Amino acid sequence: MTRTDVPEDRPARADVEGPELLARGFRPYERYRIVLHHEDGSSDVQSRDIIRAGSVVGVLGYDPERELVVLIRQFRFGAHLVHDRGDMVEIVAGIVEQGESYEAAALRECGEEAGVVPRALIPMLRFVPSPGVSDEFAVLFLGLLDSAALPQQAGAEAETERTYPFAVKLDDALAAVEAGRMINGYVIIALQWLALNRHRLPALLAGVATLAGAATA
C-alpha cells in the first residue's frame, strides 16, 4: 500500500487517449479522455481540456551590490478581466524555445524583458502554476545583474511586448506581497523563495564568484 502521508508528488495510474485539438491559437487547446485507476481498484473516466504551454523560465533579477530586486510591469489580459489589475508587476518570464536550455532561455528573456542580461544564474525552484488547466512547467532562477543598467522600457517588438523594468528593495517588495498589492503567482513565489533563502545568499554568491573565477583561470 502506498503511503498517503508523505508530501511528495508521484506518478498516477492513468490511461490517456488523445489529443483532440479544440483550437490553435497562441497556445494549443486540447481535449483528452482519461481512465484514472485508484488504489482501491476502482476507476473513473474523465474528459479534460488543457492548454499546452510547455516549459517556461522565470528570472527574479537581483543586484547584490545594491541589494535590490528587479521586477517588470507588463499588461496581462487575464488579470484585466478578473481583477481590473492588468498592469501587473512580474518577474521576467517566457517560453523555452525548442532545443533551448533553461539557462539560455532565462538569459534571452532577461535581455528582452528587462533589457539587461544577468552575469550569472542561480537555480531557485521548479513548479506547475495551474495543473488543472495547463501543462505549464516553470523553472525559476535568481539572475545576478546590474540594476543601474535597466532601461526605462524593454520587450520584444516582434511579440508586441512592452515591459517596464524597475528595481526595489527586497523588503519593500515583500511588503507589497503581504499587502496584496501584487497578485502574480510567479513574482510571489520567487520573492518568497528569496526571503526564505536570504540567509544563504552570501554562500550562494560566493559559489557563483568561485565558478566565475575558475572559468577565467
Active centre residues (catalytic): 159
What is the strand order of the sheet 43-51 is part of? 14-24, 28-37, 43-51
Strand-strand pairing, 137-144 and 55-63: parallel
CA-to-CA distance for 185 and 191, rounded, in angstroms?
A: 10
95 burial via Cβ count (<10 Å: 0-12, 13-18, 19+): middle
SS3 187: helix
3-state secondary structure of 146: coil
45 vs 14: CA distance, rounded Å: 10
d(CA 89, CA 29): 27
Residue that is written with C-alpha cell 478578473 in the block: 82
User: Do 43 and 36 form a contact (C-beta atoms < 8 A)?
Assistant: yes
